[in-house]
Structure 1
Amino acid sequence: MPKDSKATTIPKQSGKAGKKAAAQAVVPAPAPFLHTPESLPAPALAGRDFLSNLDTSAAELRVVMDTAHSMRRGEWRGVKPLSGLSMALVFEKASLRTRTTFDVGMYQLGGHAITLSNAEIGLGTRERVSDVARNLERWVDGVMGRVYLQQTLHELADHASIPIINGLSDMLHPSQLLADYQTIEQEFGTDLTGKRVVYIGDGNNLANSHIHMAILTGTDVTIVTPVGYEPNGAVLMDAVKRGATVTLTNDLGAIEGADVLYTDVWISMGQEAEADIRRRAFQGYQVTPQMLDTLAPNGIFLHCLPAHYGEETVPEATEHPKSRVFDQAENRLHAQKALMYHLLGGAKPRW
């Protein structure tokens, strides 16, 4: 698939400044065609779970990413392939981007989403996870879970016959990585072999998922993190066995010349008790405009948000010319719509 219009490389801004920037931007060419119900690609992952990026092959990932790019270009405008289908959005953790984009995405594809908070469900406390799964499968066509434990998602998947999507867990954040790599492809094209992606900060669920994407896409992923905050050892070993290029270091010099610099919060939800210890451990790992100036000439900066300004980054970095942070946030909608289509597109409405 060809690289997106040059207009997509211009950082979006909000409010009046954004309108002025848009007026100065190159107007993208019209979409070459609009899909009709008859021209839609066959769902590549029909009926399957998406708990990890490795639940897809490289070829299947390519199909999903191509669909995401096509949706961003507006080629699916007005097509409702999930008409009559419903998805439950289960939240143990608070959310802005995940909740909004999955909900809006289902609506735009013709389906319906229902949001269920942990206060309403009480996964594993008010009710067994297996019982929740057996109930939901009788009513809806898919479940997205933003949960504390990866095991919760596996338990849902083990007891439900409908697709389960990982919207975030302690171990992985695969739906975020779809949006991240869509943003990277908008800059560098679809062949990312050898592109240097440097992740700086906590070796958390995002770091683990970046390692999985190195396996699938051929990127050269470097994790820069303090001693004691490394990514999951099993994830690292699996990547090495599969031949992925993954480097683990605490040397900040590894950032120089990177094509992509990525960071995340130092203190994730549920880690508030460790806040002071973590702030001390991550001193020096803050992404600044000066750091961005050391990237490759066409290098970009990504952050999955929310940003804790004054900790892992500063406002001047997310507003920097090399920042694609808000394009990345937009792509949560397109990438997750593509994922939902390929998981649910083969299902028939129940009524």
Structure 2
Amino acid sequence: MARPKDLLSIADVADRLPAILARAAALKRLRARGRSPTPLRGRTVAMIFEKPSTRTRTSFEVGIHDLGGQPLVLSAMDLQLGRGETIADTARVLSRYVDGLVYRAFRHADEVELAKWASVPVINALDDLEHPCQIVADLLTMRERWKGKFRGHRLAWIGDGNNVLHSLLLGTAAVGIDLVAATPAAYGPRPEIVEAARALSRRSGATLDLVHDPAAAARGADALYTDVWVS
């Protein structure tokens, strides 16, 4: 099966997530020694931000630069998107200039539309459905703390059923972390995301429990992941 061109959801890389994390750990060690490889040398990656960002923008910009690439930061108002040009036209035009697109969007549907028409890879830097790159980074931290082993560890989420939880559900299920997510009763994760996460959990052997009591979720956890209780 051909690999997906884009990273719009953790589900796009679920089968390769352990290998991606191992590669990220190796790159981090090389960077600490001042020996970062430069696979992006001679390549430009455009970063489109419809929403303000501190950590995500800085992480991408520094990361692209460290790997030898040229980051090009654009806001929606820098583009004709801000004046009514379609996402399809924007994708086709930018694909002729750059080698990849990073998109922080208000709507996941716009993320999908950009990827549909772009001939270069598109990476989701947050939208209303998922925040996959944040979860990849967080899983790397857990991998480091737990000495490379995910199985047998329990993570508790305390917050509402937002985009971060959606990616966390998929990511933990893919690598085998047991997850207990406590959300307000009326603000749980989307059923289709839960269903996809349960399918991944069956393959990895992880467990997934949804509760509404933060104290119950935290009991016996090896790590806590918190967010606002109601967005």
Q: TM-score, normalised by structure 2?
A: 0.90
Task: Note if 1:245 corresponds to 2:203.
Answer: no
Partners of 2:3 and 2:67 in 1: how far apart?
16
- What secondary structure sits across from 1:257 in the alignment? coil
Q: Which has the larger radius of gyration?
A: 1
Does the CA-based 8 Å contact 1:47-1:162 persist in structure 2?
no
- What secondary structure sits across from 2:125 in the alignment? strand
The Cα of 1:190 is off from its aligned counterpart by 2.3
Does the CA-based 8 Å contact 1:222-1:249 persist in structure 2?
yes
Given candidates 43, 48, 61, the residue that maps to 2:5 is 48
Does the CA-based 8 Å contact 1:195-1:259 persist in structure 2?
yes
Structure 2's unaligned 5+ residue stretches are none
Q: Deviations over 1:184-207 (max 9, x none)?
A: 011112231231111101110011
The residue that corresponds to 2:225 in the other structure is 262
The Cα of 1:233 is off from its aligned counterpart by 1.0
Structure 1: which amino acid aligns with 2:134? Q
Structure 1's unaligned 5+ residue stretches are 1-44, 269-351
The Cα of 1:78 is off from its aligned counterpart by 4.4
> After alignment, is 136-145 or 123-132 more displaced?
123-132
Pick closer, same or farther for the CA change 1:69–1:241 going to 2, 3 Å. Answer: closer
The Cα of 1:99 is off from its aligned counterpart by 1.0
Task: Note if 1:152 corresponds to 2:110.
Answer: yes
The residue that corresponds to 1:72 in the other structure is 28
The Cα of 1:144 is off from its aligned counterpart by 0.4
Structure 2: which amino acid aligns with 1:247? D
Partners of 1:241 and 1:61 in 2: how far apart?
16
Partners of 2:36 and 2:152 in 1: how far apart?
38
The residue that corresponds to 1:346 in the other structure is none
Structure 2: which amino acid aligns with 1:55? D
- Decide which structure has greater helix share: 2
Pick closer, same or farther for the CA change 1:123–1:212 going to 2, 3 Å. Answer: farther
Given candidates 138, 145, 155, the residue that maps to 1:197 is 155
Partners of 2:5 and 2:148 in 1: how far apart?
25
Does the CA-based 8 Å contact 1:227-1:250 persist in structure 2?
yes
The Cα of 1:47 is off from its aligned counterpart by 7.6
The residue that corresponds to 1:309 in the other structure is none
The Cα of 1:81 is off from its aligned counterpart by 1.7
* Higher RCO (Cα < 8 Å, 6 or more apart): 1
Superposition map of 1:282-321 within 5 A:
none
- What secondary structure sits across from 2:30 in the alignment? coil
Structure 2: which amino acid aligns with 1:56? V
> After alignment, is 242-251 or 252-261 more displaced?
242-251
The Cα of 1:239 is off from its aligned counterpart by 2.2
Superposition map of 1:215-226 within 5 A:
215-226=173-184
Does the CA-based 8 Å contact 2:39-2:67 persist in structure 1?
yes
Does the CA-based 8 Å contact 1:214-1:245 persist in structure 2?
no
Partners of 1:125 and 1:236 in 2: how far apart?
37
Does the CA-based 8 Å contact 1:141-1:162 persist in structure 2?
yes
Partners of 1:231 and 1:204 in 2: how far apart?
6
Q: CA RMSD in A?
A: 2.0
Partners of 1:255 and 1:92 in 2: how far apart?
35
